[in-house]
Structure 1
Amino acid sequence: MILSGSYAQEQENGRPLGHTNQNKFRQMKDLLATPNESRTASGAPGYAYTQQKVDYIMDIRLDEANNQIFGEEKITYHNNSKDYLEYLWVQLDQNMRAKNSKTPDINTEIFNAAFNGPQSFTSSNLKDRFDGGFNIEYVKNDDGSNLSHTINQTMMRINLPKPLAPDAEFKFQIKWWYNINDINVDGGRSGLETFPDGNNNYTIAQFYPRLCVYDNVEGWQNMQFWGRSEFALEFGDFEVKITVPADHILEATGDLQNPKDVLTKEQQRRFNEAKKSFQDPVFIVTQEEAEQAEKGGTTKTKTWHFKANQVRDFAFASSRKYIWDAMAVNINGREVMAISLYPKEGNPLWEEHSTRVVANTLEEYSKLTFDYPYNKAVSVHSERQGMEYPMICFNYGRPNPDGTYDERTKRGMIGVITHEVGHNFFPMIVNSDERQWTWMDEGLNSFVETLAELDYDPNFFTGNLPKDIVPYMGGDQSYISPIMSHGDYVHQFGPNAYTKPAAGLYMLRHTIMGPELFDYAFRTYSQRWMFKHPTPADFFRTMEDASAMDLDWFWRGWFYTTDYTDIGVKEVKQYYLTDKPTEKAMKLAELYNMNLDAFKDKLIYYAEAENGIVPSDAKKVEDFAFLKAYLESLSDQERSKLLKAPKHFYQVTYEKPGGLVMPIIVELTYEDGTKERKMYPAQIWRYNENQVTKVYKTDKAITSIVIDPDLETADVDTSNNSWPKKIEESEFDKFKDKVRG
């Protein structure tokens, strides 16, 4: 096989066969779904777009003595589609921890130590498996009669008595309970944390049977939950009553309906004060009060009542250990509350930063997407969690027992709060399918998170910039998957779903599109798909539709392949002026049967400098009398349009060993120390993706050329980025054989 430019040709009897278009700039018609009346070619929802609605009324009881949660829910399913539905699918996420769960069976096991201490041996070999999972007491019709259903691991099919017609609704009831897992012992995205003082911190989510998404792309999204790829959910209205010990402080999705029943008059007064404080948080429960409360315990209960409209999920947190502070945030003239709950173990870090980070996140995300539509955002501290739900999230970042903390702990805490609060936008509002396309919420969110973190602290290390992902991009190809992969089946989940998409979007904004075009397009996508279910094609198409930029080359390379960026300076040739015919000129004259003697004193020749050394007798522009005469023959107006005569001439060949096409960013340094930047669009590679040449005609000698000086394109091998070449071994040299192999 012979590779020539972007085309592959096979030889047969000396004659090349035909080939398909493999040009890196070919359009993505072969990869994206065909537009239709539901999803337009522009990336917007079509006139026939529909989505379902699911409403929940729930009564929840937290049993602190036994660490169990009990629930009864009434569900109203609204069929807004044009389809008749024979059944409904319900997610039972807690079943991942059931004793008969298949999740442990899909993981390989090895002996990871030659010996064990008594504690680790007991945990590994003698401890009984946690008895989690839903215990379904009944599934009933609205009239109380039994409703047929089938449970398949983390999914339950509701067998409808008759097909549910378009524009009809179906009401049914589920009663259930389960044992709450200890997140530090049994793991999990929600559960409880046990403290040495005997108290628990309950961060509860995925706690109720929830309807799967039914849409006009996938039908039912009923992929099993294996513990990694997250959730696809429908929007609806929630009314939830949660009964907990009377001395607990509780926060949840939605607006509190009965503050007078669950808060003291002093707590109500302080919260009203917080609504007017836009600069600093106000304590509703102080650390002193929380420390006093954690010494207690009670058999009495309180019921907290919440309502939330147009949300896709519900979660809550409850403990007697909570310190509670809050402040107001101005979102385009509208008051939103930033709130934090945390045990004393989180201080002083949490009282210094948490609520302020929440406020900053709401402000910065709203600038780049849409005004935050809910009334609050809550950050709850739990030792090992980082998980998001509408209006509430659970976050790690704990100081040492003596209250000290290092910069890494602080940065981690600020980062996780920004990230999880940011999830209110993606996917809690721009409601993508996390089970299939993890990057559509994690990647987009990590990108906006980066901008918010840099606003909070300009020196913040985000880990999401193009230069940060070079080790991943240049790593062993057998452990790298394209971004467009199901999250359950990739080796390096974090880089694949979080950092590579975030770095790519940062590159689009900062380097390829520019902030003005990018921000308008990104805001258009966000607002088009608020409270709807977008797909990757909707994102790709909207970004192009709203910016007038053809980005198919970028989506195809960055999202659909594991190609990497590697652009270098292959060769630099320097030329000088002469009045003597060069070898190249003589060959050209022979080809066209020209007599160069007849053009004496009428032609200027470019001669290549050997080893970059220009001879002392090299001509200058002013040395050519016939050129001077020609210039003097021009009118003043014509001469005014001419550039200053160059003294130096260079031809630079850029090569691209890497598979990705990218802009070429060049920094030229001149003999007087001044610098000049040039950026050539990625389309420079459209005819030859292996190498391209550019000519520089300058008044000053060029002393160095550097490609991508600010590391904007995730170039995995910078050893070929400079001229004169720096003699050093790059990190790439250590693994390039694996990569290129």
Structure 2
Amino acid sequence: MYLAFFYPYHIMKKQFCCLAAVALLLFVNHSNAQRRRRGANPNDTISSRYVPSDLFSPLFYTERGNDYHAANGAPGIKYWQNRVDYTIKANLDTVKKTISASETINYTNNSPDELKYLWVQLDQNTYRTDARSNLTTGNAAQQHTDGYEFEYVAIMLNGKATKVPYIVNDTRMQIRLPQGVKPGGGKISVLINYHYAIPGSFGGRTDYVDTKNGKIYEIAQWFPRMCVYDDTHGWDTLPFLGSGEFYLEYGDIDYSVTVPWDMIVAGSGLLLNPQQVLTAKQQSRWQTAKGSDKTVMIISPDEVGKPASRPVNKGTLTWHFKMQNTRDVAFGASRAFIWDAARVNLPAGKKTMAMSVYPVESAGTDAWGRATEYLKGSIEYFSAKWFVYPYPNAINEAGIAGGMEYPGIVFDGITDKGKELFWVTAHEIGHNWFPMIVGSNERRFAWMDEGFNTFIDVYCSDVFNKGEYAPKRDGEYAPGGGNPADEIVPTIIDPNAPSIMTAADAISEKYRHPIAYFKPAFGLILLREQILGKDRFDYAFRDYIHNWAYKHPTPDDFFRSMDNGAGEDLSWFWKGWFYNNWKLDLAIIDAKYIDATDVKKGLRITIANKEAMAMPFTLQVKYQDGSKQSLKFPVETWLKDKAVTITFPSDKDVLSVDIDPDAALPDVNRGNNHFGMK
């Protein structure tokens, strides 16, 4: 979901001396030995909150890997996952402003457990006056609907539809079965007929809004969806409270939407009956767009709302879509839509389509006239960098949801333009990787959704159209641009700030962006650019994505994947950055020549770690002649001590010494990072 943006801090490349890590450690160890012989141990005199044994304590993982979630972070040899296929026939009534539908849920129980009852998600009930979300999000005074109203709930039993008892509790329904669904592949079909009133502008994610040529309907979270039954919680029945988003099973969704004849429907998945809902001219343009890198108009601005733009001029039309191996679908519908499209080029010669639908008010090359270009560029980058986009098309729909993501379709702001439209488009379609492809539980772990996606769209801005909208900067934290390593400090030092591992709905609005989006994304930037390096990070991160595509990873699966794929024990980082808001304060305590009469013998520099967090760091010496020399030190520098004395192999007159000269680390006190030589 779109709220605000995190943007990368591009660090200037420096020339580092080519010294082996072993040599660096020899410098540190040798000087420590000298220090101990002299009896001048800085650990005895420096004030510091750093306790090495806390950060580097063993047994970070409280459970061993098992047959379901392996120790290396991959799915285990007995990993299982249930499957849900849906067939839905829906009707959009634009007079009553309601959705009515009949739904068939075909559920496969691949678990080792017999299921005596089923749990179903009912997100539309969040708009009821008695919804729990009213108390957690402050919506009690807003407009409301009656949520889902059910005409029929049944199962197929011995070839017949048989009504079954059910209860509705807030945004969940429990269906009580006459006999359990057998483990290891048992199947059941559930039949549900329902209707609900579509919320107006207060809907947030599902709504309608007036435009010059008619209402735009954004229809999401619109059908009862199965709760996930997994090896972590059994039935995961957390209610929908607003901030915590979705956790869903995968399967095929075949759905039809009947609308008045003059409306266009843009939905997730492949349109199966274009010949019935498009004119011959529109079908021809659609085929042209499939082969075009330039945006092609399917319905132009001067055709919007004209009878000639529709294959019939009365009654209704039914739009039929199908999406395979997906966890959800959504759609937009309006008579006001301009519709354009272009080809998307994927690795290994694969193709898909990018499309945009928007009203005439949003048209123009500075606005939604480039929306398809933005969508195409983002998908091509994410596919080449991380994992190939799997769906037959992607749609960018203009409305008032203001930035919301579903498989194959995103709802972006109707008034967005320029860089804001590109940034929100890249961010929302990026969610198709996290959590639509990598199916984490975003209702519990917002950071595995928003944080990961914010991280990948940082780099998308760097490459789109040769950096047209780069670098991304965080408007909330640094108006006009700034350094994210400094921007995160107010959150880290805030004693009331929750940790990244806080439950999604337990994060207050004040902290939702910094904790769910910004801090995890910047944490991955630190891993990639300061701790592991780009090659090792990218290899491990891709491996995680490929291992968990269309599956349900837990936080430990991610942590273990990165540890194993990068070949690094990162438990200190997960502990300090994700489970805690531990602060970092590296300080230069002293710097002096080893021999004041001979500068070529080098410097002896004492550095302290004054807070609970540690990081690898760069030490830079600037010489009187303007040249610079840098050394990088690993996090193991802090494995035993809160202060170390380092021998730096300088060979000429020194002007100053700096730690973290590029300000890349989230150091809470930069005032002690510089030391001027006398």
TM-score w.r.t. length of structure 1: 0.79
1:249 maps onto 2:280 in alignment: no
1:137 maps onto 2:156 in alignment: no
Q: Is the 8 A contact 1:341 1:378 kept in 2?
A: yes
Q: Is the 8 A contact 1:137 1:176 kept in 2?
A: yes
Q: Is the 8 A contact 1:98 1:134 kept in 2?
A: no
Q: What secondary structure does 1:427 align onto?
A: helix
Q: Look up the equivalent residue of 2:544 and give its one-letter code.
A: Y
Deviations 1:459-487 (A, max 9, x none): 33243999326344334533311111101
Q: Look up the equivalent residue of 2:663 and give its one-letter code.
A: L
2:471 corresponds to which residue? 460
Deviations 1:677-718 (A, max 9, x none): 221111111111x32221113222221222222222222222
Q: Is the 8 A contact 1:83 1:165 kept in 2?
A: yes
Q: What secondary structure does 1:654 align onto?
A: strand
Q: Would you say how many aligned residue pairs link Structure 1 and Structure 2?
A: 614
1:118 corresponds to which residue? none
Q: Is the 8 A contact 2:166 2:175 kept in 1?
A: yes
Q: What secondary structure does 2:394 align onto?
A: strand
2:604 corresponds to which residue? 651
2:53 corresponds to which residue? 22
Q: What secondary structure does 1:545 align onto?
A: helix
Query: Deviation of residue 397 (structure 1)?
Result: 5.6
1:710 maps onto 2:665 in alignment: no
Name the CA distance, whole Å, in 2 between partners of 1:324 and 1:198.
Answer: 14
Name the CA distance, whole Å, in 2 between partners of 1:554 and 1:466.
Answer: 24
Q: Is the 8 A contact 1:430 1:526 kept in 2?
A: yes
Larger radius of gyration: 1
1:258 maps onto 2:210 in alignment: no
1:527-546 alignment runs, 5 A limit: 527-546=546-565
Q: Is the 8 A contact 1:574 1:650 kept in 2?
A: yes
2:357 corresponds to which residue? 341
1:27-426 alignment runs, 5 A limit: 27=58, 29-106=59-136, 129-142=143-156, 143-166=160-183, 167-183=185-201, 186-195=202-211, 197=212, 199-278=214-293, 280-290=294-304, 292=306, 300-332=315-347, 333-348=349-364, 349-396=366-413, 398=415, 410-426=418-434
Deviations 1:599-638 (A, max 9, x none): xxxxxxxxxxxxxxx4xxx3x5xxxxxxxxxxxxxxxxxx
Q: 1:447 aligns with which of 448, 455, 458?
A: 455
Name the CA distance, whole Å, in 2 between partners of 1:159 and 1:308.
Answer: 29
Name the CA distance, whole Å, in 2 between partners of 1:468 and 1:674.
Answer: 28
1:314-713 alignment runs, 5 A limit: 314-332=329-347, 333-348=349-364, 349-396=366-413, 398=415, 410-456=418-464, 457=467, 459-463=470-474, 467-468=483-484, 470-475=486-491, 477-491=494-508, 492-576=511-595, 614=596, 618=597, 620=598, 647-688=600-641, 690-713=642-665
- Which deviates the most, 35-44 or 198-207? 198-207
Rate the CA distance shift 1:351–1:707 in 2: closer, same or farther, 3 A.
same
Rate the CA distance shift 1:175–1:87 in 2: closer, same or farther, 3 A.
same
Query: Deviation of residue 4 (structure 1)?
Result: 7.9
Rate the CA distance shift 1:295–1:52 in 2: closer, same or farther, 3 A.
closer
Name the CA distance, whole Å, in 2 between partners of 1:522 and 1:244.
Answer: 43
Structure 1 portions without partners, runs of 5+:
6-19, 111-123, 400-408, 577-613, 621-645, 727-741
1:601 corresponds to which residue? none
Q: Is the 8 A contact 2:256 2:318 kept in 1?
A: yes
Q: What secondary structure does 1:698 align onto?
A: coil
Name the CA distance, whole Å, in 2 between partners of 1:108 and 1:244.
Answer: 34
Deviations 1:227-279 (A, max 9, x none): 1100110001111010012111111111111000000111111111111112x
Percent identical? 36
- Which deviates the most, 503-512 or 342-351? 342-351
Q: Is the 8 A contact 2:205 2:401 kept in 1?
A: no
Name the CA distance, whole Å, in 2 between partners of 1:364 and 1:109.
Answer: 38
Name the CA distance, whole Å, in 2 between partners of 1:387 and 1:107.
Answer: 18
Query: Deviation of residue 558 (structure 1)?
Result: 0.8
1:736 corresponds to which residue? none
Name the CA distance, whole Å, in 2 between partners of 1:83 and 1:287.
Answer: 55
Rate the CA distance shift 1:494–1:683 in 2: closer, same or farther, 3 A.
same
Query: Deviation of residue 76 (structure 1)?
Result: 0.7
Q: What secondary structure does 2:304 align onto?
A: helix
- Which deviates the most, 361-370 or 332-341? 361-370
Query: Deviation of residue 70 (structure 1)?
Result: 0.7
Q: Look up the equivalent residue of 1:573 and give its one-letter code.
A: K
Rate the CA distance shift 1:654–1:474 in 2: closer, same or farther, 3 A.
farther
Q: Is the 8 A contact 2:461 2:471 kept in 1?
A: yes
- Which deviates the most, 240-249 or 291-300? 291-300
Query: Deviation of residue 202 (structure 1)?
Result: 0.9
Name the CA distance, whole Å, in 1 between partners of 2:231 and 2:571.
Answer: 25
Name the CA distance, whole Å, in 1 between partners of 2:544 and 2:250.
Answer: 19
Query: Deviation of residue 437 (structure 1)?
Result: 0.8
Name the CA distance, whole Å, in 2 between partners of 1:225 and 1:351.
Answer: 32
Name the CA distance, whole Å, in 2 between partners of 1:433 and 1:293.
Answer: 45
Query: Deviation of residue 101 (structure 1)?
Result: 1.6
Name the CA distance, whole Å, in 2 between partners of 1:159 and 1:246.
Answer: 40
Q: Look up the equivalent residue of 1:485 and give its one-letter code.
A: T
Q: Look up the equivalent residue of 1:564 and give its one-letter code.
A: K
Rate the CA distance shift 1:657–1:309 in 2: closer, same or farther, 3 A.
same
Name the CA distance, whole Å, in 1 between partners of 2:129 and 2:163.
Answer: 26
Q: Is the 8 A contact 2:605 2:647 kept in 1?
A: yes
1:735 corresponds to which residue? none
Q: Look up the equivalent residue of 1:651 and give its one-letter code.
A: R
- Which deviates the most, 294-303 or 543-552? 294-303
Name the CA distance, whole Å, in 1 between partners of 2:308 and 2:291.
Answer: 29
Q: What secondary structure does 2:445 align onto?
A: coil
Q: What secondary structure does 2:391 align onto?
A: coil
Rate the CA distance shift 1:107–1:270 in 2: closer, same or farther, 3 A.
closer
Name the CA distance, whole Å, in 1 between partners of 2:62 and 2:308.
Answer: 56
Name the CA distance, whole Å, in 2 between partners of 1:91 and 1:470.
Answer: 41
Higher relative contact order (CA 8 A, sep 6+): 2
Name the CA distance, whole Å, in 2 between partners of 1:444 and 1:554.
Answer: 16
Name the CA distance, whole Å, in 2 between partners of 1:370 and 1:109.
Answer: 38
Q: Is the 8 A contact 1:429 1:531 kept in 2?
A: yes
Query: Deviation of residue 163 (structure 1)?
Result: 1.4
Deviations 1:211-230 (A, max 9, x none): 00001111111011111100
Q: What secondary structure does 1:206 align onto?
A: coil
Name the CA distance, whole Å, in 1 between partners of 2:525 and 2:423.
Answer: 17
Deviations 1:529-549 (A, max 9, x none): 011101111111111111211
Q: What secondary structure does 1:77 align onto?
A: strand
Rate the CA distance shift 1:321–1:695 in 2: closer, same or farther, 3 A.
same
Q: Look up the equivalent residue of 1:671 and give its one-letter code.
A: Q
Name the CA distance, whole Å, in 2 between partners of 1:294 and 1:490.
Answer: 51
Name the CA distance, whole Å, in 2 between partners of 1:60 and 1:710.
Answer: 56
Q: Look up the equivalent residue of 1:64 and give its one-letter code.
A: T
